[in-house]
Each structure stands twice: as structure tokens, then as C-alpha cells.
Chains A and B, each alone.
Chain A
Amino acid sequence: MEPMPPKHHQESVIMDSHEMTRALTRIAHEILERNKGCRDVGLVGIRTGGVYLAQRLKRLIAQIEQTEVVLGELDITLYRDDLSIRKDQPVLKKTDIPFHISDIRIILVDDVLFTGRTIRAAMDGLTDLGRPAEIQLAVLIDRGHRQLPIRANYVGKNIPTAKDENIRVLLEELGEEDRVAKLINVGTAA
């Protein structure tokens, strides 16, 4: 987890709790539509935010389809391409995917799609674990500025942003009120 923003930031809410639920419900429907149900579908959340969103999608799919899809958690730290240039030491967490991913359609779930590097690392991590039939990508927010040829199959909301803007998905599971916020730094001089 990145540290919480300091107090001198102001935020503007891009998506509130209701909008978030609506977007996730739509994504759940789209996943079922595209995969013609949820047979041989597995959800894999990318730590940390993606894991909670994947859990919510699992619940929504269960409500709609009365079927439990399998769920895994993926830590992509060891696959990052910036390990040797980062100043901080990313905290290692465990990858926990309690099912065989080979021949399964994997829905990777993340909160924000930005440069695409996290997704690249996640796909490398996944393919080290087996050979999925297909990898699809679900994100709550697509904020643009891709650095790799990656596109999401399911998007909650597209938000045009400036490169240096800070977009945060805040979740109840992390002790916050559900919302997506754009953080504006008010402290810096012009």
C-alpha cells in the first residue's frame, strides 16, 4: 500500500459509492455475457485494491448467477520492472491462487489502469503459474497514459487525467468510505 495522502491535499470525488456499485454490477454482467456464464472462469485480484474488487465481483456474480466462481490473489512485486530503481522497498506479499489456472479463463482485476506496467507484470506472474485459456482484464478506472499496448476488457469508468494527477480508489475494506477521488495538491506554489 502506498501511504495515505497527507492533509494538505484536497480531493474531488469522481465516483461515489452508488456509482461504484453500479459500475461493478455492470462489469459482473458483462463478464457473464462475454463468457456465456461463468464456467471455467476464475477471478484473480491484483494486490491490494484489485483483491477487494475481485471479491465484490465474485459476490455480484453469485447473486446474478447463483454460482461461486474461484478467486485468487496475485502479488506482482517480484515481477515489477522497477525493482532496482525504486527508492522504497516494496513489501512482499504472498500470491495465493488456490486453483489450477491452466485452461481457465482468468479475469485479472485491478482498481486503476494507468501505464499498463502492473498488468504486464501480472500477466508474467500468471503465465509462470500455468497456461490460462484466456486472460481478460477488468478495471474500475481507466485513466489513460498507457506505456504498453494493453487494453481492458471491462472498464468501470474512463477518466481523462493529467499524467501527474493522483487517482485513488478508496474502499470500505481499507477503512474508507467507498469512492474514487482525484487528489489535488494545494500545498505547492505555482
Chain B
Amino acid sequence: MSFKRKDLLGLASLSPEEMALILEAAEPFKEVSGREIKKVPALRGKTVVNLFFEPSTRTRTSFELAAKRLSADVVNFSPSSSSVVKGETLLDTARNIEFMQADILVLRHSSAGAAEILAKNSRLSVINAGDGWHEHPTQALSDLLTIKEKKGQVRDLRVAIVGDLAHSRVARSNIHALTKMGANVRAVGPPTMIPLSLQRLGVEVFHDFDKAIAGVDVVITLRLQLERQGRSLFPSIREYARLYGLTAERVQRAAQDVLVMHPGPVNRGVEIAHDVVDSGSAVILDQVANGVAVRMGLMYLLAQRN
């Protein structure tokens, strides 16, 4: 089986086989990233454009490293530093990039569906690097790879996703990835942070973290957008940390070899207690390393498309 898609827009529409294919493709690139010369010529002559309408140093850097290690030429476009001004539509911007003969467009945008709209109207291969609250597929694939490496398999694992699921693209992509791979997913957060009908995505909803964490194999904590405090989603950071922070005591309630994950950057002492971040359970840095490998594998697959 080979990867036939032009774009990667989200995991909701991907089959488990397609996800497995991307993970398989990522595998050899971990070895490449461990070399002295961290570069292979697979994408020599290809152009990758990082079009980021929202600032995100981490994700952009990860894509940039991935493309460069494949020998692609990388251009970073961001609204503040380019000709993208108010008035030019997203599609016009994309069309310009297309006619500069770019091959892969990596898009980060604050609007859900931006990547899909762009992919439909362009010949470019589009990789969704996060669209609004919708999806962030490469992050979830890195998480999947990390879990697979540490646990051997994903099927039947108990995974808790904790935090503001309503406003999280990482949560949505992870829910799709994990449920499709056969994990049992628990969504944990105050009702203000759990979107309506979330159960329809195949997860079990909990508001009590102490109950939800019992026996879980993996805890994915989501980043708390501290500025949301004013929007009545939670009364105070203190109360949030008390009810939904991953403390050492809570870790005790999980399975013995529980994995603690976070898409970064971590608010230490809020989502995860300081000592848990630095404990052996945390695989946050593995997620980062796997992020580069997954993005390399994905770009390699997309570039093969004729």
C-alpha cells in the first residue's frame, strides 16, 4: 500500500492503514536525525513553504528542520514579515506561492478549515500545521509514534486527554488518531472545556481527574491558554491546577508505567507538576524528536506523489 493523498489536512478522514504508513515512513528518519550529517538528498530541488499566520516557533522549526534534513529548500512566510497584508485573501496568497513553483505548503492558521479550503483550490501539497480548534495532525502522529515506541502497540491502551478539549486542535487530532488505532480514550476537564457531543467522537467524558486517571497507560495533558481565564472557562489558575493538574499523587493512581505527554510548551506547575515533568514517566522530549521524524516521513511520502 502506498500513500495516495495530495495533502494531509486532518486525521478524521485518514484510515488506520494510512496513519500506520506515515509512522512507518517516519521510522528510518529517526536514524537520519541521529547522524553526524543529518541530511539525505530525498527532496533535493523541492521547495517547502511554511506559511504561518499564527506564531509558533516550535512547530515551524520542526517542519523547517524536517524539510532541510530532506534537502528541500525552505521558505518561511509569516504575515508580519511578508506581503500578506489585510485585503489579500488566503487563496490569493496560496496561488502566489503555487506559481513560485513550490511543492509543499505547510499552513498554520487561526481559522478551522483554512487548510482544506486552500488544498481544494491549489495544486500544492498542503500540510495542516494547525487550523483553529480543528486539527493538528502531525502533532498527533508524533504522539502516536511515541506511544507506539514506548508501549509497543496502541490497541486497548487507556489514554486520558486532560484540559481544554473545546479549544484544542491537538485534542481533536489525538482523539481521531487514538480511537482509530483502537485505544480507549478518556476526555477529562471541566464542563466548560468539553465541547458538546464530544462522546460522538468515541471518547468517554470525565470531569473528575482522580477518577479518570485510575489505571490509565498514557496521560496527554493539553496546554492551558492562560489568557482564556477572562472568558469564564475556569475561575483561576490555582483552581485549575488543583483540579486538573497532573501531580505526582495523581500519577500514582495511573498504571505503573504510565506515559506523561504534553504538546508543549508546558506551563510547569499548572498542567503538570514540576517534579512530574522531569520524572521518568514524562516523554515530552521524545514527542519533540518524533515530531521531526514524522514530518520528514510525511514530506517524503507527499513528495513521491506524481
Contact = CB atoms under 8 A, between A and B. Distances in A.
B100 interface: no
Interface in B1-59: 2-3, 24-25, 27-28, 31-32, 35-37, 39-42
A75 B28 CA distance: 9
A145 interface: no
Contacts of A87: 306
Contacts of B39: 128
Interface stretch (B149-157, B176-184, B297-305): B297-305
A92 B41 CA distance: 14
Interface residues of A, number: 21
A124 B41 contact: yes
Interface string A118-136: 0000001100111000000
Determine chain A's interface SS by DSSP, over half rule: loop
Contacts of A39: none
A184 to B, nearest CB: 29
Q: Give the most central of A84, A86, A87, A94: most B CB within 10 Å.
A: A84
Nearest to A127: B37
Contacts of B28: 75, 78, 92-95
Nearest to B40: A78
Given A92-B24, A94-B31, A78 B2 contact: no
B31 A95 contact: yes
B40 A79 contact: yes
Contacts of A78: 28, 32, 40-42, 70, 300
B19 to A, nearest CB: 16
Contacts of B27: 92, 94
B2 A89 contact: yes
B35 A89 contact: no
A88 interface: yes
Nearest to B301: A89
A129 to B, nearest CB: 6
Nearest to A97: B31
Interface residues of B, number: 22
A96 interface: yes
Contacts of B25: 92
A89 B41 CA distance: 16
Contacts of A129: 35-37
Nearest to A87: B306
A86 B24 CA distance: 20
Given A87-B306, A89-B3, A89-B304, A96 B31 contact: yes
Contacts of B301: 89
A92 B306 contact: no
Nearest to B41: A79
Interface string A66-91: 00000000010111000110111110
Nearest to A92: B28
Contacts of A93: 28
A101 to B, nearest CB: 11
Contacts of B37: 128-129
Contacts of A95: 28, 31-32
B3 A128 contact: no
Contacts of A86: 304
A84 B35 CA distance: 25
Nearest to A129: B35
Nearest to A80: B42
A87 B35 CA distance: 30
B70 to A, nearest CB: 8
A94 B3 CA distance: 18
A88 B32 CA distance: 23
Nearest to B71: A78
Contacts of A77: 42
16 contacts: A75-B28, A77-B42, A78-B42, A78-B300, A84-B303, A86-B304, A88-B2, A89-B2, A92-B24, A92-B25, A93-B28, A95-B28, A95-B31, A95-B32, A129-B35, A129-B37
Interface of B: 2-3, 24-25, 27-28, 31-32, 35-37, 39-42, 70, 297, 300-301, 303-304, 306
Given A83-B42, A92-B28, A125-B40, 16 more contacts: A75-B28, A78-B70, A78-B300, A89-B304, A92-B27, A92-B300, A94-B27, A94-B28, A94-B31, A95-B28, A95-B31, A124-B41, A128-B35, A128-B40, A129-B35, A130-B36
